[in-house]
Amino acid sequence: MGNLSRFLDLKANLPNEVNLLAVSKGRDAYEIRSLAEFGQIHFGESRLQEALSKFKSLEDLNSLKWHFIGKLQSNKVRGVIRNFDFIHSIHSLELAQRVSRISGEENRAPKVMIQVKLRDDPTKSGFLEKDLLNDWSTLIDLPNINIIGLMTISPINLNSTDRKLLFKECRFLADRLGLLDCSMGMSGDWSEALDSGATWLRIGSYLFESLIN
Ligand SMILES: *Cc1c(COP(=O)(O)O)cnc(C)c1O
């Protein structure tokens, strides 16, 4: 097995209220198992089919928690609800309503985060701030979903200072709505997110690339 020092350093240095989500999309079950053996519990996947094939070979690790972080298509909602504990990427009211209805049918109550788009970015989905505020009373009344926070992704062209500003806005909006969690920060900007009040860092390549060598 490769080098675990990035993973161990990160884990050792995160404040208690900040969680590390190891983003395992594109990684195989063996790599996931390597981190799980060193105490990693939360893993993030962005494609249902890819995730399902890994779940089979990791069935014995029943304390793992799975987070869906990808763009959620309506025909994948039931499969995601059956197989994941958290959904970070609720990007529209219509999707939230569908997740609520199907969660009821499946007798599940996933923890969800609402994806917000705080900067113009044609490559990303998510609620605009004004739409989220408009839809908020409808969202919090939906049964069978437990809204725990907001999720955001920085546009690639922002520098470090502007990313911090963006993440702070996300934190501020979550606080205003009474939400504890902010899922923000990836391999390239997790320290900015950490400084700005993230509670879930979604980190993939930074962790896994040091494992395989
Ligand atoms: C892939 C992905 C990540 C992790 O990206 P890295 O740059 O590999 O850390 C985080 N969040 C989302 C939504 C992703 O799709």
- Residues 184 and 141: their CA atoms lie apart, in Å, by 25
Sites in the chain below the pLDDT cut of 70: 1-2, 212-213
pLDDT single digits (tens) 139-154: 999 999 999 999 999 9
What residues are in contact with ligand 1 under a 6 Å CB criterion?
A: 23, 25, 46, 69-70, 153, 186-188, 202-206
pLDDT single digits (tens) 36-49: 999 999 999 999 99
Please state the pTM of the whole predicted model: 0.96
Q: Report how far ligand 1's centroid is from the alpha carbon of 193 (Å).
A: 13
Hey, is 44 helix, strand or coil? strand
CA 153 to chain centre: 10
